[in-house]
Amino acid sequence: MNRMTSIGLAVLMACIGLSRADAQSVGSSYTSTAPRDCRQIGKPSTLDGSSTRVCPGKDGLIVLIAEDDLREIVSVGRSRKAAAEEPAAKVWFAPFNSSEATIEWRAAGTKPFAVIQRWHIADNADPDKQGRPNTKAMLVVTRLPPGPVCHVAYVDGIANPNANELARKAADDLARGFACGKDAVKIIGARGRAVELATMR
């Protein structure tokens, strides 16, 4: 093998290595589920405040947010219908709750495989001065297609000062191999009041 051939082969192998590394690099990007950034489906109910909106996501996915009786569901799919049929669309936390408007998308290269979102769970045992329940923060990790969309892990936002890092690690380590309907949702890090409230049945 002459010198030029050796150099060419080395360059080729380096390029292959770089492209593989790039394809597998994992990172975060963000989208909004704030009402101003989404499409409202129908008119919100004046009786119970129920509403549904569809928000743009990543890689052709949309985010479905539905609220009923002061409780929300968040699901993801290629369409509103698909998102509404996913397991994530059928998970309701028992206490009143709401999700924050920022969704973090974890992706390998350009392909998202999980989302992370902060939720607030009402704690009736901890009322404020007006008698309304204070809320406790929790991060929810949800797996994405291919395959079903479902909750993978919960991270208590108060009990864990590094909750964001724990949620990202859970997304990266667990989401792609998680079997919805078979695997139990994992509690990551220290258990706190938010996780206790969210897992009440």
Q: Is the predicted pLDDT of residue 4 greater than 60, yes or no?
A: no
Domain chopping of the chain, boundaries: 30-198
pLDDT tens-digit map of 60-81: 999 999 999 899 999 999 999 9
Amino acid in the structure at residue 100 = E
pLDDT band of 13, cuts 50, 70, 90: very low
* Mean pLDDT, the chain, whole residue set: 89
Mean per-residue pLDDT, 74-94? 97
Which of these ranges, 5-9, 27-31, 89-93, 178-182, has the smallest mean pLDDT? Answer: 5-9
Spatial CA neighbour of 107 closest among 63, 154, 143, 139: 143
Q: What are phi and psi of 196, to 5 degrees?
A: -60, -45
pLDDT tens-digit map of 115-149: 999 999 999 999 999 999 999 999 999 999 999 99
Locate 4 and state its tokens. 């030029």
pLDDT band of 49, cuts 50, 70, 90: low
Q: Is the predicted pLDDT of residue 45 greater than 90, yes or no?
A: no
pLDDT at position 71: 94
What residues contact residue 31 under an 8 Å CB cut-off, 6+ apart?
37, 55, 56, 57, 58, 63, 102, 103, 105
pLDDT at position 17: 46
